[in-house]
Amino acid sequence: MHRVAFVRSDHGEWNCLECMEVSVHARRELDMTIQFYDLVGDDANMPFSPFCWRIRMSLLHKGLTFTAVPWRFSDKSATAASGHSRVPVIKDGDQWVGDSWEIAKYLDAQYPDRPTLINGVEGQAYAQLVQALCQSLVFPAALPVALYQVYGILDEASQDYFRKSREAWLGKKLEDINAEPETGKANLAQALVPFNTMLDAHDFMGGDQPTYADYALFGVLKWGDVVSPYRPIDDASAVGQWFVRLENLYGGHAVNLPTVRQGSS
């Protein structure tokens, strides 16, 4: 199975271990890193899941070394022992944790000395409000941008499952859900109006620094950005500028991973 580890240098930069010459000791340490099971399609280097992006950014936020393990709809055996049939899932030592919200809370509880994702009861309430707004406003607008495009990047063995399950859920063919670029961008921009108002006054939803609330919305938008043949976000808007700031955090981790418009290097 193809795995890619991300390690933080002494200067705070994130590096892909595939591209580094490392010692035997460093490679042995990989066995002690967090295993992060991340949804991919045919290209193992192009993660796209909105929920997995929330956790990828959370791990980077906490400064935790992790190994990204590609996971596909067609082969769920890798996480069978976890008791979870969907990703994200992490394995931290002997501990399995699934569901993006539960993983975020676990990371804060397990690593309290690292930067906080969810600041206390107030932070939980705030993050849950943002997640609810994402679910009710942003996801419905992002579906016509992203869903049919996801089908196109999946491995062949996953495509049949994806089409049948999503069409049964929505009661429509994937092709009928797909929006034309201008319509897709306009509907998404309308759904993001409340976030534009907030981010016009603050760099992040957490104020000066991002929190899990930021990653909740970022995950949904990064999903559309990765799979769409066009950039679905207006970079000139307040949300667009915030999105670019997040993409370039952590050594440009998010911006350096490929989209369908770039292809995998």
Q: What is the pLDDT of residues 160-202, one digit of tens each?
A: 999 999 999 999 999 999 999 999 999 999 999 999 999 999 9
Domain 4-110 listed as CATH 3.40.50.2300: no
Tokens of 244: 């670019």
- How far is it, in rounded angstroms, from Cα 249 to Cα 252? 5
Closest to 87 (Cα-Cα) out of 32, 46, 138, 40: 40
Q: How many Cβ atoms sit within 10 Å of the Cβ of residue 156?
A: 8
Using 50, 70 and 90 to split pLDDT, how confident is the model at 235? very high
- How far is it, in rounded angstroms, from Cα 88 to Cα 36? 7
Q: With contact defined as beta carbons under 8 Å apart, do 97 and 89 qualify?
A: yes
> What's the whole-model pTM score?
0.89
Domain spans of the chain, in order of start: 4-110, 120-256
Tokens of 251: 């050594």
C-alpha Rg value of the chain to the nearest Å: 18
Which three-class secondary structure string do you get for 76-92?
A: CHHHHHHCCCCCCEEEE
- How far is it, in rounded angstroms, from Cα 41 to Cα 160? 13
Residues 6+ apart with CB under 8 A from 122: none
21-25, 111-115, 176-180: least confidently modelled range = 21-25
Q: Give just the sign of the alpha carbon dihedral 195, 198, 202, 205.
A: negative
Query: One fold for both 4-110 and 120-256?
Result: no
Q: What is the pLDDT of residues 64-92, one digit of tens each?
A: 999 999 999 998 888 999 999 999 999 99
- How far is it, in rounded angstroms, from Cα 15 to Cα 263? 20
Distance, C-alpha 99 to centroid of its chain = 12
Closest to 250 (Cα-Cα) out of 220, 199, 214: 214
**What is the CATH topology of the domain spanning 120-256?**
Glutathione S-transferase Yfyf (Class Pi); Chain A, domain 2 (1.20.1050)
